[in-house]
Amino acid sequence: MGLRGIVLLLLALLAGAAARAPPRADCAAGNLECACAAAGGAWHAYKPPLEPVCTVTILHQDRERTFNIFLPRAYDARAQKYPVWVHLHGVYWASMDDISARMGFTVQATEATPMWDTLSTGPYRDTAVAVYPQALPPGGDAFKRTFWNNPFWHCSVDVCADPSIDDIGFIEKVFLELPARLSMDRKKVFLSGTSAGGMMLHTLLCSSPIVSHFTTAAVDLIGGLGESMRHTCRDSHHVPLRIIHGENDTVLHFDEACEVDGVRFLSTRDTAAMWKERYGCASEPDAPDVWGDGITTCDALCAKKGLLELCRMRGIGHQLDVPTLGYPFTAAWEFFKSVAGMK
């Protein structure tokens, strides 16, 4: 399909999404079970440590796919439009932290990981709607490694994703579904991904006009980019991007290229340099220390355009729970607020 065909398809999809009926707005503030039903989801009143959640099931490639919606506790579709934060989980297996045994059932990635990242800390818990698309477990077994079928990385250790699964199309479909299901501020739609989810984030920004059109700002958290994408990435829309990475990461290296599961990865620094070139800022000098909190320091690589930041977490490796549980998500939220002009 040529560029014109892609543009026409995108416009048709967006028009179709806009024409759909908005979510029902007759639920009382804080009645999340009602709001979930209005969004076409199934409400699960899980007990701690899991959070209650709204699970939406859609069809993609004739398969049932799900995404989870975590609503602010005082959610009121009648009175407010909310920022939406879509997060792509990393590699997960249902025995992590012994969570399935503790709960007494097989816990999916989008049920467990939110309590370790976006919902674990920060003022955004009751400010934004968190949306978690669910990757498909290999062979349907969530106790095996579950992750995204990424064009440049689709095997983790000895487990490989089903190559027929179109995860890019599934995530695009989630974005297109959201306006009809949520009371959302379309100027405040944020995307993040951790580790393998960060890898998929780069792929989406490289290849999906739908995701890049909808996304106000994006943050890669300890993710990475395969070297094969250096010359094939074709970003269709310049989405403001903050890359946050641990300087001591021994899985995906900050300053050196590396190999993971037989795939060559750019260093985090070279990944940022690739985006700087794509965004037309290659000749622009970096602006150091534009944001920091004593642990993380961010440099602006496209300062004049406000498009790209590279952040180094000092003394931290491939982790999301140092120095506190969910720490990097606060830094992600600060970037989202800055780009969207939020206080």
> In the prediction, which pLDDT does 97 show?
94
Residue 197 above 70 pLDDT?
Answer: yes
Helix (H, G, I), strand (E, B) or coil at 98: helix
pLDDT tens, position by position, 134-163: 999 998 999 999 999 999 999 999 899 999
Structure tokens at 38: 């209005």
Dist. CA 230–CA 247, nearest whole Å: 22
What burial class does residue 4 get, using C-beta atoms within 10 Å of its C-beta: 0-12 exposed, 13-18 middle, 19+ buried? exposed
Residue 299's pLDDT band (cuts 50, 70, 90)? very high
> In the prediction, which pLDDT does 96 show?
95
> In the prediction, which pLDDT does 24 show?
60
> In the prediction, which pLDDT does 8 show?
41
Structure tokens at 213: 């059109």
Structure tokens at 250: 């021994």
> In the prediction, which pLDDT does 18 show?
46
Dist. CA 252–CA 237, nearest whole Å: 26
> In the prediction, which pLDDT does 338 show?
95
How many CB atoms are located within 10 Å of the residue 56 CB? Answer: 20
Q: Do the beta carbons of residue 162 and residue 170 sit within 8 Å?
A: no
Residue 187 above 50 pLDDT?
Answer: yes
Structure tokens at 249: 């990461």
Dihedrals phi, psi of 54, to nearest 5 degrees: -105, 120
- Pairing relationship of beta strands 241-246 and 258-260 according to DSSP bridges: unpaired
Residue 122 above 90 pLDDT?
Answer: no
> In the prediction, which pLDDT does 239 show?
96
Handedness of CA 154, 158, 164, 170 (dihedral sign): negative
Dist. CA 37–CA 24, nearest whole Å: 9
- Pairing relationship of beta strands 155-156 and 159-160 according to DSSP bridges: antiparallel
Which CATH code is given to the segment(s) 27-340? 3.40.50.1820
DSSP 88: E
Dist. CA 315–CA 214, nearest whole Å: 34
Give this prediction's pTM.
0.94
Dist. CA 90–CA 114, nearest whole Å: 11
Nearest-Å Rg of the Cα atoms of the chain is 19
Q: Do the beta carbons of residue 15 and residue 214 sit within 8 Å?
A: no
- Pairing relationship of beta strands 308-313 and 53-60 according to DSSP bridges: unpaired
Residue 283 above 60 pLDDT?
Answer: yes
DSSP 169: H
